[in-house]
Amino acid sequence: MSALSSETIPLTAPSSAGISPKPRRRRVLSPALPLALLGLGLFVGCWYLTVDVLALPRFRGIPGPTEVIREWVSPDPAYGTSIFTLSYYAHIWASVRRVAIAFTAALFTGIPLGLLLGWSSRFRQYAFPVFELIRPIPILAWVPLAMLMFHTREGSVIFLTYMAAFYAVTLNTLLGVHSIDQNLIRAARCLGAGPTTVLRTVVIPGSLPYIFTGLQIGMGVAWFSLVAGEMIAGQFGLGYLINASYTTTRYPTIVIAMITLGLVGFASSALIRFVGSRLMAYRARSIGS
Amino acid sequence: MTGGNLILDAVGKEYRTAGAPVAAVQDFTLDVGAGELHVIVGPSGCGKSTLLGAVAGFTDITSGRIDLDEQLLCGPGRPTAGIGPDRVVVFQDSTLFPWLTVADNVGYGLVAQRRLSRRDAAGIARGRLQEVGLGDIAHSYPGELSSGVQRRVEILRALVMEPAVLLLDEPFRGMDAISRSAMHDALLQIYDKFAVTVLFITHDIEEAVYLGSRVTVMTTRPGRVKTTIDIDLDRPRDRGIITAPHFRELVGEVSDAVRDEARRAFDVGEREMVR
Amino acid sequence: MTAISSRPVLLRRTEKVETTAFRRGAIGIVIFAAVWEFATRLNGWVGIRVPLVAQLPPPSAVVVDFLKLAGSPGYWNSWSLSFQRVLAGFALALIIGGTVGLLMATRPWFKRMAFPVFECLRPIPPLAWVPIAIIFWPTQELSITFVTFLGALFPVVLNTVGGAEEIDRRHVLAAQSMGASRSYIFRRVVFPALLPSLVTGAAVGMGITWEVVVAAELISGGGRQSGDGGLGFLVWNAYEGNNLPRVVVAMISLGIAGYLSSGLVRALGNRLMPWRRVAS
């Protein structure tokens, strides 16, 4: 159409076809974005101030934000690790791989065990006390036994990570089964469902919210244990990188690894949340919250 | 589909506690005819829900027997009735499965018990929903619906199984008066259509008289039959009969019977039995 | 007519069922210990090595070593050392975390500013902070305390904020409509309502605190004399000295210590919440 066309120009831009308002509620941050940025800015600002500008005595050894960022994005980093170096990704992959293996194992052992503990009171009476006796033992206290059992560093680190996640997943699954209204189960049985059908069609879907909470918590503690394990006994991995950078006085790399850990940890939890919201799509559509 | 003939003969249920055993229900005898809408009224804690639970198979009985169409449900040698699709319960609180659509909910029993495929069951469910005017919500989730609609779906889910007896445990409790009266008419519409035997528990006297073919008043704990009153009002029932003199007489009759028991229960300080 | 009990009928389990549960639990534990003993001794008796567990110490050896240790003051000294570290970090986390959490709960602008920072820092595992802590703090003890504090901080804050979101607005409105001042509302409505979540957060934080203290003691374990470190150090020391039963004794001690401290937190919490003791 030529610019001289006499067609009226619409006052408002046409909305893209097919986009309906998101049913999910928006994150608390969105309307308060400026404040959030302010808060983050203040934090980074303090960091910058105390280290780079004022160079306070205590803070002398700590790398400042400019140094860290410069190092992180530099194609030729002074301390050997940046987004352009292969070793960076090798470390990330080493850690991610360990968590993935451990977490998957925890998922496949913890959920069934949690379901069984929740479902059969007889089994729970026999098995739960043992479970609860072992649980308070800090995961890292298992390091020596893990080394004895698995002989390799890799195996023991993965085992530690597995233990931490396993407990969280099992416990929350158990809670999930108990959270189900007894009448739901009775209703299902009235409608002709046998015990296995009830398990499959009522207990498992009904426990899903708790199970996913357990998975998120499990992921969090998995990373916790992984880092500890890597710092003590690992080769490669982000935890190892932190430790090694410290001993070789490559301080900016420490912070780079820390931030990376934060990002990867966050991403993994977000992934779980995402899968959960897909599986439990019905929740988003309920009246009220 | 015809309803079943439910006979309770001297049914008793005793609970063992730390102290002396407590009888929740004692010597309860009732004959519910096929296709009858029978209402049980009584003060809180009199054992109404226990009775329902016994018929449904959730709890055992310690004396007497219950028969359905001359088949033993529970009795001597068999303390607990099986739970089955011939007796379906609709509870006070919604037990629709929140993770299934309305159509899948209604079709649940067909898949679980009759081994229909999910698609076939959903098709049948949609048909039934259509019949009662709820076809639009077939693909909604229960959480998106108002409580009145949820209740209707739940009753439909029960009836799809073509049960011999439909057991309703104070299903409209907690609903506001307006929704409640709409639910009464919806239930009566369904009842007139499906001709199933209904055992309905409530403590609302007007509801009892409006809905019931017969009303049984239960005593306080231990619960037994105090009296059974025939409700000789014509069906289909119209909201207008509420002011009719005969209706009010019947309500008065039931009230009198209940009032004594309610006062007795109040004095003794009974609490609603925890389920 | 039989006598009607005037007490409300309790439809809970009878006492008989509860003793059954206890008995079964005890049986479960005994079976566990028996299998453990059997599997670890199998090598010595018959020459069969059970995979994974063959080299673990049997429970009988563990008990023997515990009896030996219980007499030595160094062992109990380890207890007190670990407890000190735990308490220091935990107390800090409770004070600072509780305050921050309460501030976030009562001042929305602060929450919107601080929560994103909080959520960004939270995924970083506490132990990742160890080198920075060592660089920053002059003594090792302070750096351990700092990392411990960080570990417990997040659950405390998170639970406090979460608890604030669950407060029934009507309670606040009711108090306001009766003319209560802001500080009164905080003291008598908001804070008590937050307590349950806060206590839960504290109990979770306590558990994490032990994890961190053990990790820190393990990491910094090398080089100190025996009996001169905490329980975490005891674990490592025993391992290096190839005293496997002692490793398990130390582990179990840690388990008991963690369990006791979480229990203590909950017990204290319950004292602060007398209204929760009413039986329902």
pLDDT of residue C17: 66
Largest Cα separation within chain C, whole Å, is 82
Q: Which residues contact B204 (CB under 8 A, 6 or more apart)?
A: B41, B172
Instruction: Categorise residue A237: left if φ over 0, alpha if ψ from -120 to 50, beta otherwise.
Output: left
**Average pLDDT of B241-257?**
91
Question: Element (H or E) spanning C105, and its range?
Answer: helix C98-106
Confidence of residue B270 (pLDDT cuts 50, 70, 90): low
Question: Element (H or E) spanning B91, and its range?
Answer: none
pLDDT of residue A203: 95
**Average pLDDT of A142-160?**
88
In whole angstroms, what is the distance from residue B124 CA to residue B135 CA?
Answer: 11
Sign of the Cα pseudo-torsion (B235, B240, B242, B248, in order): negative
**How far is residue C183 CA from its own chain's centroid?**
32
Residue B45 DSSP class: T
Q: Which of A123-137, B76-90, C205-219 has the lowest mean pLDDT?
A: C205-219
pLDDT of residue A10: 33
CA angle B230/B199/A178 to nearest 5° reads: 155
- Rounded to the nearest integer, the mean pLDDT of chain C is 81
- Rounded to the nearest integer, the mean pLDDT of chain A is 83
Domain B6-86+167-268: which CATH class? Answer: alpha beta
* Chain segment A95-143, per-residue pLDDT in tens: 999 999 999 999 999 999 999 999 998 899 899 988 888 888 988 889 8
**Average pLDDT of A196-220?**
93
> Model ipTM?
0.88
**Average pLDDT of A251-256?**
89
Helix/strand/coil percent split, chain A, to 5: 75, 0, 25
Q: Which residue's structure tokens are 């290096």?
A: C240
Are B72 and B55 in contact by the 8 Å Cβ rule? The answer is no
pLDDT of residue C15: 53
In this model, does residue C235 exceed pLDDT 50? yes
Answer yes or no: do B222 and C4 touch at CB < 8 A: yes
Give the homologous superfamily in CATH for domain A86-280. Answer: MetI-like (1.10.3720.10)
The closest CB to that of C125, out of A28, A148, A261, belongs to A261
In this model, does residue C1 exceed pLDDT 90? no
Helix/strand/coil percent split, chain B, to 5: 40, 25, 35
Q: How far is CA A117 from CA A217, B87, C230, in A?
A: 19, 30, 35
pLDDT of residue B269: 65
In whole angstroms, what is the distance from residue A13 CA to residue C60 CA?
Answer: 79
* Chain segment A71-81, per-residue pLDDT in tens: 888 888 888 77
Question: Element (H or E) spanning B171, and its range?
Answer: none
In this model, does residue C224 exceed pLDDT 60? no
Residues of C in contact with A43 (CB under 8 A): 117
Residue A283 DSSP class: H
In this model, does residue C176 exceed pLDDT 80? yes
Instruction: Categorise residue B228: left if φ over 0, alpha if ψ from -120 to 50, beta otherwise.
Output: beta
Nearest in space to C34 (alpha carbons), one of C62, C55, C58: C58
Residue of A nearest to C256 (CA): A136
- Note whether C3 contacts B: Cβ–Cβ < 8 A: yes
In whole angstroms, what is the distance from residue C2 CA to residue C185 CA?
Answer: 52
Please give, rounded to a whole number of angstroms, the shortest distance from the CA of C151 to a CA of chain A. 10
Paired sense of beta strands B87-90 and B165-169, if any:
parallel
Instruction: Categorise residue B15: left if φ over 0, alpha if ψ from -120 to 50, beta otherwise.
Output: beta
Q: Which residue's structure tokens are 């997943």?
A: A169
State the alpha helices, DSSP H only, in chain B: 48-56, 102-106, 108-112, 118-131, 147-160, 177-194, 205-211, 245-268
Residue B35 DSSP class: T
Confidence of residue C231 (pLDDT cuts 50, 70, 90): confident
In whole angstroms, what is the distance from residue B187 CA to residue B253 CA?
Answer: 24
pLDDT of residue B262: 78
Tokens of C49: 């090595």
Confidence of residue A272 (pLDDT cuts 50, 70, 90): very high
In this model, does residue A17 exceed pLDDT 50? no
Nearest in space to A238 (alpha carbons), one of A255, A251, A221: A255
In this model, does residue B221 exceed pLDDT 90? no
Nearest in space to B128 (alpha carbons), one of B100, B147, B107: B107
Tokens of C18: 């509860």
pLDDT of residue A18: 33
**Which stretch, B210-224, B260-274, C43-57, has highest mean pLDDT?**
B210-224
Residue of B nearest to A197 (CA): B112
Question: Order of strands, edge to edge, in the sheet holding B225-230?
Answer: B87-90, B165-169, B197-202, B37-41, B214-218, B225-230
Please give, rounded to a whole number of angstroms, the shortest distance from the CA of B140 to a CA of chain A. 9
Answer yes or no: do B93 and A197 touch at CB < 8 A: no
Q: Which residue's structure tokens are 């219980």?
A: C70
- Note whether A181 contacts B: Cβ–Cβ < 8 A: yes
Q: How far is CA C162 from CA A16, A150, C106, in A?
A: 37, 40, 12
Confidence of residue B132 (pLDDT cuts 50, 70, 90): confident
Answer yes or no: do B89 and A186 touch at CB < 8 A: yes
Confidence of residue B103 (pLDDT cuts 50, 70, 90): very high
**Average pLDDT of B156-168?**
92
The closest CB to that of B19, out of C2, C5, C11, belongs to C5
Q: How far is CA B216 from CA B29, B201, C30, in A?
A: 11, 10, 55
* Chain segment A156-197, per-residue pLDDT in tens: 899 999 999 999 999 999 999 999 999 999 999 999 999 999
Q: Which residues pair with B154 in a beta bridge?
A: none
Asked if the bond preceding B98 is cis, omega within 30° of 0, the reply is no
Q: Which of C12, C17, C24 to mutate to test the interface with A (most CBs of A within 10 A)?
A: C24
Answer yes or no: do C7 and B19 touch at CB < 8 A: yes
Question: Which positions 193-252 of A are in contact with B (Cβ < 8 Å)?
Answer: 193-194, 197, 201-202, 205-206, 208
- SS3 of B183-199: the string is HHHHHHHHHHHHCCEEE
Residue A41: Cβ within 10 Å count: 13
Q: Which of C1, C6, C7 to mutate to test the interface with B (most CBs of B within 10 A)?
A: C7
Please give, rounded to a whole number of angstroms, the shortest distance from the CA of B264 to a CA of chain C. 11
In whole angstroms, what is the distance from residue B13 CA to residue B11 CA?
Answer: 7
Confidence of residue A5 (pLDDT cuts 50, 70, 90): very low
Q: Which residues pair with B15 in a beta bridge?
A: B22
Interface chains of chain A (3 or more CB pairs under 8 Å): B, C
Answer yes or no: do B58 and A186 touch at CB < 8 A: yes
* Chain segment A201-210, per-residue pLDDT in tens: 999 999 999 9
Answer yes or no: do B93 and A183 touch at CB < 8 A: yes
Q: Which amino acid is at C61?
A: A
Q: Decide which of C228 and A58 is more confident.
A: A58
* Chain segment C99-152, per-residue pLDDT in tens: 998 888 888 888 888 888 888 888 898 888 988 888 888 888 888 889 889 989
Asked if the bond preceding A21 is cis, omega within 30° of 0, the reply is no
Residues of B141-150 as b/e, b for ≥16 C-beta within 10 angstroms? bbbebebbbb
Residues of A in contact with C58 (CB under 8 A): none
- Note whether A49 contacts B: Cβ–Cβ < 8 A: no
Largest Cα separation within chain B, whole Å, is 55
Q: Which residue's structure tokens are 């990373």?
A: A223
Residues of C104-121 as b/e, b for ≥16 C-beta within 10 angstroms? bbbeeeebbbbbbbbebb
In this model, does residue C75 exceed pLDDT 90? no
Q: Which residues contact B13 (CB under 8 A, 6 or more apart)?
A: B23, B24, B25, B47, B50, B51, B54, B59, B60, B61, B62
Confidence of residue A235 (pLDDT cuts 50, 70, 90): confident
Residue ranges of domains in chain C, CATH in brackets: 11-56 (no CATH), 59-277 (1.10.3720.10)
pLDDT of residue C200: 84
Residue C61: Cβ within 10 Å count: 19
